Chain A
Amino acid sequence: MRIKIHSPGMQSLLVDGGRRGHQHEGFCEAGPMDEEAYWWGNYLVANQAGSPCIEVIGELSLRCDKAGVIAATGRDVKLNVNHQNAQAYQTQWVKEGDEITLSSNSLGSKTYLFIGGNWQLPTVLGSACTVVREQLGGLTNLGEGLKAGDEINIVSFDSPIPPNKPRHLAQRHWPNYDCQTPLNVIEGYQSDCFSAVAKRTFFSSEYQITSNINRMGYRLSGPKVQCEQKSMLSEAIHIGAIQIPSDGQPIVMMRDRQTLGGYPKLGCVDPLDVSRLAQAVPGESVSFTPIHSDNARARFLLHWQQRRRITGEVT
């Protein structure tokens, strides 16, 4: 399979499972913003977990130069093959010359395109992830997004998916993108430096997603959270960490976050809820609720158990 990009939309980035094990050298974790949609996509085209795909904001259009297997996932995802609507969250077979477009019905949300096979891409420290800020990864290995005219080679393998039995994820199992349900927060880091009043403000208020959101972090706006600790030494920042700068407006740190930072942190958004936050768009509101780390881990293990049940790995 080979594809040729007609238009990358607002932004189309090559991402994979992330650049693991190099944060101590300053390389960010990278990886998909919406891990839930990403995980299912690789299953639907029978690629190994952690394989590359395209993360899209806006409308991506491309042409297939050969036949192959594709799938689309993400929030309010809309997949068209030759201007005909095709089912997302399901294996799709495409032919040579097929025109594909991928977009989301909620402006600014991410959608993902998967293609079965081995993607021929340069890697840096074991990952093809594009990190614009670090100027590495992607097709050119300069951290650039995909451009019109770019071509990507994907070496097909004998697909384990029988031709008449597409892999399919029932709609009830699609990722939940509801912003009404509060995001779970594991309290940690400097949480002891926040007063009971500050925590009550944070956990009982609604915070708006501002337009200042990107793969590094999501700036929220809402009632000010005060922290008694004003200055601290820079330290490692984990996925979902909730930073409170002195203006009191939370910033939730995402995949391309810097590895170290010096703003006090209240804790981390539950890894299972990071995907939901990643798909929220400016103007939507979110709220937070504390969860004990043991409960959060139990929820994580159950979630994975459910993934394996759906894929038939366990019964």
Chain B
Amino acid sequence: MQPFGAIKHIVPVSIDSLMLYFNGPDMEVANTHCYQWALALSEARQQWPWLRECVPAYDSLMVVFDAHAVDMHQVYLALKDMAPKAPPRGEGSNAKKTLPVWYGAPEANDLTQVGEHTGLCVDEIVRLHSETTYKVYAVGFAPGFAYMGQTPKALHCPRLATPRKQVPKGAVAIADNQTAVYPSSSPGGWHLLGLCPLSLVDRDSHSAFLKVGDEVKFEAITEHAYRNHYAH
């Protein structure tokens, strides 16, 4: 399928889904295009009853439709038809938030492996990870899971060759140029640095603490401070 406008690439996913990838000189711009489109599509839901899901990430947007009603060619044409009407600017949140971390907590400690990948010692890993300000680029994977970027180049490390079956709740993790906190225990393929005591999903409203556009910093705390936090 021919790309158009801010879309650099369109590929099929399944009989009821298409994937759009966005252009930009850097991730920042591509991410903005992506959220503008996501917003425009959520507003188009009224006219497009066949639109089922719209799942944005860093520079991509998955569009899921009702395969009874339309096929991917019709969806492609509908998207293309919508493109020239400049989609409204998606204003994300840009609140500043701080996440405390007990680095090296025994339940979530891959610092040795991270050291092997990066050649850094533990103190350098903690310093690099906690002195950077990150932006939330996407929310997903699990409720409240925020993908944050970008970690300093020296800290880049690949995903695990085989994902772990169980990562503990609150685990602070890195993979490639991203960092995140696991809001609940789940399988995962990232390297773990420590534990964060904050609850990232509201139990009643199911809303996420971290939102796209937020500016986030990590702050090293002691085991004692972690346990105190958890008790409250």
Mark A residues whose CB is within 8 Å of B.
20-21, 23-28, 124-125, 133-136, 186-189, 191, 212, 216, 230-231, 233-236, 238-241, 245-247, 249, 258-263, 267-268, 270-271, 293-294, 296-297, 300-301, 304
Q: Are B71 and A294 in contact (CB under 8 A)?
A: yes
A26 to B15, CA, bound (A): 22
Q: Are A233 and B58 in contact (CB under 8 A)?
A: yes
Contacts of A27 in B (CB 8 A): 143, 206
Which of B12, B60, B176 counts the most A-chain CB atoms under 10 A from its CB? B12
Residues 10-68 (chain B) with a chain A CB within 8 angstroms: 11-17, 19, 27, 38, 52-62, 64, 67-68
A40 to B8, CA, bound (A): 42
Q: Can you name the residue of chain B whose Cβ is closest to the Cβ of A261?
A: B141
Q: Are A189 and B159 in contact (CB under 8 A)?
A: no
23 A-B contacts, Cβ less than 8 Å apart? A26-B142, A27-B143, A133-B184, A133-B185, A189-B19, A231-B159, A235-B57, A236-B19, A236-B55, A236-B61, A245-B161, A258-B140, A259-B141, A260-B55, A260-B57, A260-B140, A262-B159, A263-B159, A271-B14, A271-B67, A296-B14, A297-B15, A301-B68
Q: Are A25 and B57 in contact (CB under 8 A)?
A: no
Contact of B134 with A by CB under 8 A: no
Contact of B119 with A by CB under 8 A: no
Contact of B138 with A by CB under 8 A: yes
Contacts of A125 in B (CB 8 A): 206
Q: Which are the 3 A-B pairs with shortest beta-carbon distances?
A: A236-B62, A236-B55, A260-B140
Q: Are A26 and B141 in contact (CB under 8 A)?
A: yes
Q: Can you name the residue of chain B whose Cβ is closest to the Cβ of A212?
A: B165
Q: Are A271 and B141 in contact (CB under 8 A)?
A: no
Additional 10 contacts, C-beta under 8 A, given A21-B52, A258-B140: A23-B53, A24-B56, A25-B206, A188-B11, A231-B158, A246-B159, A246-B161, A262-B176, A296-B15, A297-B67
Chain B nearest CB, measured from A264 CB (Å)? 11
Q: Can you name the residue of chain B whose Cβ is closest to the Cβ of A232?
A: B176
Q: Given the known A-B contacts A233-B57, A260-B55, A294-B71, are A25 and B143 also in contact in the complex, defined by CB atoms under 8 Å?
A: yes
Contact of B218 with A by CB under 8 A: no
Contact of B102 with A by CB under 8 A: no
Q: Are B161 and A26 in contact (CB under 8 A)?
A: no
Mark B residues whose CB is within 8 Å of A.
11-17, 19, 27, 38, 52-62, 64, 67-68, 71-72, 138-145, 147, 158-159, 161-163, 165, 175-176, 178, 184-187, 189, 206, 208
Q: Given the known A-B contacts A26-B142, A301-B68, are A259 and B55 also in contact in the complex, defined by CB atoms under 8 Å?
A: yes
Q: Given the known A-B contacts A24-B54, A300-B67, are A260 and B147 also in contact in the complex, defined by CB atoms under 8 Å?
A: yes
Chain B nearest CB, measured from A197 CB (Å)? 21
Q: Given the known A-B contacts A245-B189, A293-B12, A293-B14, are A25 and B142 also in contact in the complex, defined by CB atoms under 8 Å?
A: no
A120 to B26, CA, bound (A): 50
Q: Given the known A-B contacts A236-B57, A246-B161, are A20 and B52 also in contact in the complex, defined by CB atoms under 8 Å?
A: yes
Q: Which of A26, A238, A304 contacts B140 (CB 8 A)?
A: A26
Q: Are B163 and A24 in contact (CB under 8 A)?
A: no
A247 to B161, CA, bound (A): 6
Which of B14, B17, B57, B142 counts the most A-chain CB atoms under 10 A from its CB? B14
Which of B52, B147, B162 counts the most A-chain CB atoms under 10 A from its CB? B162
A259 to B147, CA, bound (A): 12
Chain B nearest CB, measured from A229 CB (Å)? 12
Q: Are A231 and B176 in contact (CB under 8 A)?
A: yes
Chain A nearest CB, measured from B74 CB (Å)? 11
Q: Are B186 and A235 in contact (CB under 8 A)?
A: no
Q: Given the known A-B contacts A24-B55, A189-B13, are A245 and B60 also in contact in the complex, defined by CB atoms under 8 Å?
A: no
Contacts of A231 in B (CB 8 A): 158-159, 176
Q: Given the known A-B contacts A135-B184, A188-B11, A216-B187, are A23 and B16 also in contact in the complex, defined by CB atoms under 8 Å?
A: no
Contacts of B17 in A (CB 8 A): 238, 268
Contacts of A20 in B (CB 8 A): 52-53
Q: Which of B13, B159, B176, B206 contacts A245 (CB 8 A)?
A: B159
Q: Can you name the residue of chain A whose Cβ is closest to the Cβ of B183?
A: A26
Q: Given the known A-B contacts A134-B184, A188-B14, A271-B16, are A230 and B158 also in contact in the complex, defined by CB atoms under 8 Å?
A: yes
